[in-house]
């Protein structure tokens, strides 16, 4: 348990020290105990030390951004995000790779009255029990074991541990899901789209590969600015509301609504680069990677 103490003591990163002073170490210890009760005794040590390492400031800047990126679930609605910052974030996507340079993304930026109208209309449907339906599936019905494990871990950690909602409490879970349609308080909401005919009717799955690339890049660029971001498949369920509120000139009929993306400053002045919000555990590299096609000497050298 105390094997991480020297690691912490050696850290000269002020953000790490502030993190512990604010008593958020208690949450890390809770995570540690939860992992300790699982089958593999070595895992909790690795998990906690990885979490600490992500805040240590010892990695290259790009890796620190990747390691600390997470979804924000509480934004400051009173603090505007300048248009020039959103433009700069989107401008970075021009360097991204895409299939044969197709760049299939179509991004609609909403803010102010339009953003508020989207929330109002989506909440009306949600509160009336109409959950909508996206025009594509975002995950398989029958998942391989490790995917199912990751999904179940996320549900348990997000609803049961983070929000304290029991697994069988459907009403409680629905209440915690509702802020999706308030965009978690974010003042800016992006709607990511791509060509419907090619991606759905023709089934060109490479388009979704490119959409994942641009979504990730926007999240990382926002994170680099100290902004929070929250991708939302939930918005695709109400693609009809998006079309009702947004004109055809901005959201043409031939575009598929892939997802929404809320962007804003985290609440309470928190810097997401050093003070994480809810941060679910992830599958390990060993669970998602095979080193079978490498020289044994290279693998053994570490």
Residues 76 and 217 in one domain: yes
- Give one DSSP letter per residue of 107-143, joined into a string: EEEEEHHHHHHHHHHHHHHHHTT-----SS-SS-SS-
What pLDDT score was predicted for residue 278? 82
- Specify whether the CB–CB gap between 278 and 155 falls below 8 A: no
What pLDDT score was predicted for residue 162? 83
How many CA atoms within 13 Å lie on the side-chain side of 1? Answer: 10
Residues 140 and 92 in one domain: yes
Cβ-based burial of 84 (10 A; exposed 0-12, middle 13-18, buried ≥19): exposed
Q: How far apart are CA 62 and CA 285, in angstroms?
A: 19
User: Domain boundary at 48, 66, 84, which?
Assistant: 66
pLDDT, one tens digit per residue, over 125-143 is: 999 999 999 999 999 989 9
Residues 48 and 85 in one domain: no
Buried b (16+ CB within 10 A) or exposed e, 22-45: eeeeeebeebbeebeeeeeeeebe
What pLDDT score was predicted for residue 144? 92
Mean pLDDT computed over every residue of the chain: 84
Residues 194 and 177 in one domain: yes
The 8-class DSSP code of residue 227 comes to -
pLDDT higher than 70, residue 35? no
CA 38, 275, 55: angle at the middle one, nearest 5? 70
100: pLDDT confidence band, cut at 50, 70 and 90?
A: very high
What pLDDT score was predicted for residue 117? 98
Q: How far apart are CA 252 and CA 219, in angstroms?
A: 24
- Specify whether the CB–CB gap between 109 and 118 falls below 8 A: no
Residues 159 and 222 in one domain: yes
Domain that residue 255 falls in: 71-264
Q: Confirm whether 148 is domain-assigned.
A: yes
Residue predicted with more confidence, 263 or 12: 263
What pLDDT score was predicted for residue 266? 97
Most confident of 159-173, 176-190, 263-277, 285-299: 176-190
Q: Confirm whether 287 is domain-assigned.
A: no
What pLDDT score was predicted for residue 242? 98
Q: Confirm whether 86 is domain-assigned.
A: yes
Q: Confirm whether 301 is domain-assigned.
A: no
Q: How far apart are CA 244 and CA 143, in angstroms?
A: 34
Residues 59 and 82 in one domain: no
At 221, which CATH number?
Answer: 3.40.109.10
pLDDT higher than 50, residue 20? no
Residues 139 and 232 in one domain: yes
Q: How many structural domains does the chain have? A: 2
Residues 37 and 101 in one domain: no
Residues 98 and 241 in one domain: yes
Residues 160 and 193 in one domain: yes
What pLDDT score was predicted for residue 57? 52
pLDDT, one tens digit per residue, over 38-59 is: 433 333 334 434 554 555 556 7
Local structure of 239: helix, strand or coil: helix
Which residues share a beta bridge with 194? 256
Residues 157 and 36 in one domain: no
pLDDT, one tens digit per residue, over 149-163 is: 999 998 898 898 888
Length of the chain: 302
- Specify whether the CB–CB gap between 186 and 230 falls below 8 A: yes
Residue predicted with more confidence, 143 or 12: 143
Which residues share a beta bridge with 259? 192
Residues 158 and 40 in one domain: no
Lowest mean pLDDT among 41-50, 82-91, 198-207: 41-50
Please state the pTM of the whole predicted model. 0.79
Q: Which residues contact 221 (CB under 8 A, 6 or more apart)?
A: 88, 89, 92, 93
Q: Confirm whether 289 is domain-assigned.
A: no
Q: Confirm whether 294 is domain-assigned.
A: no
67: pLDDT confidence band, cut at 50, 70 and 90?
A: confident
Q: Confirm whether 240 is domain-assigned.
A: yes
Most confident of 38-52, 62-76, 242-256: 242-256
Q: How far apart are CA 182 and CA 189, in angstroms?
A: 10
Q: How far apart are CA 246 and CA 248, in angstroms?
A: 7
The 8-class DSSP code of residue 82 comes to P
Q: How far apart are CA 174 and CA 289, in angstroms?
A: 35
The 8-class DSSP code of residue 195 comes to E
Cα distances (Å, whole numbers) of residue 69 to 65, 182, 280 = 6, 22, 11
Average pLDDT over every residue of 224-229: 96
Q: Strand 228-232 to strand 255-264: parallel, antiparallel, or no bridges (unpaired)?
A: antiparallel
Average pLDDT over every residue of 178-197: 98
pLDDT higher than 50, residue 7? no
Average pLDDT over every residue of 68-75: 93
Q: Confirm whether 284 is domain-assigned.
A: no
C-alpha closest to that of 28 among 288, 275, 287: 275
């Amino acid at each position: 348990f105390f094997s991480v103490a020297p690691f912490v003591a050696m850290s000269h990163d002020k953000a790490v020290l502030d993190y512990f002073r604010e008593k958020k170490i208690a949450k890390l210890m809770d995570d540690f105990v939860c992992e300790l009760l699982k089958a593999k005794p070595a895992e909790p040590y690795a998990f906690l030390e990885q979490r600490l390492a992500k805040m240590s400031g010892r990695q290259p800047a790009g890796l620190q951004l990747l390691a600390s990126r997470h979804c924000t679930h509480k934004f400051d609605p009173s603090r505007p995000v300048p248009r020039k910052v959103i433009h700069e974030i989107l401008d970075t996507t021009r360097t991204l790779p895409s299939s044969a340079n197709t760049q299939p993304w179509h991004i609609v930026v909403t803010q102010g009255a339009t953003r508020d109208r989207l929330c109002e209309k989506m909440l009306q449907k949600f509160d009336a029990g109409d959950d909508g339906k996206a025009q594509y599936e975002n995950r398989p019905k029958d998942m391989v074991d490790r995917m199912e494990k990751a999904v179940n871990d996320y549900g348990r950690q997000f609803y049961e541990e983070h929000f304290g909602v029991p697994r069988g409490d459907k009403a409680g879970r629905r209440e915690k899901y509702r802020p999706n349609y308030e965009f978690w308080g974010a003042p800016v909401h992006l709607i990511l789209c791509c060509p419907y005919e090619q991606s759905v009717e023709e089934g060109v799955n490479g388009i979704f590969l490119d959409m994942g690339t641009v979504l990730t890049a926007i999240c990382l660029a926002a994170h680099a600015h100290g902004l929070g971001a929250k991708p939302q498949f939930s918005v695709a369920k109400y693609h009809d509301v998006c079309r009702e509120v947004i004109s055809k000139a901005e959201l043409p009929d031939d575009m598929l609504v892939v997802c929404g993306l809320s962007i804003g400053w985290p609440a309470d002045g928190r810097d997401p680069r050093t003070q994480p919000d809810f941060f679910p555990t992830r599958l390990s590299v060993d669970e998602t990677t095979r080193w079978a096609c490498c020289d044994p000497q290279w693998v053994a050298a570490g």
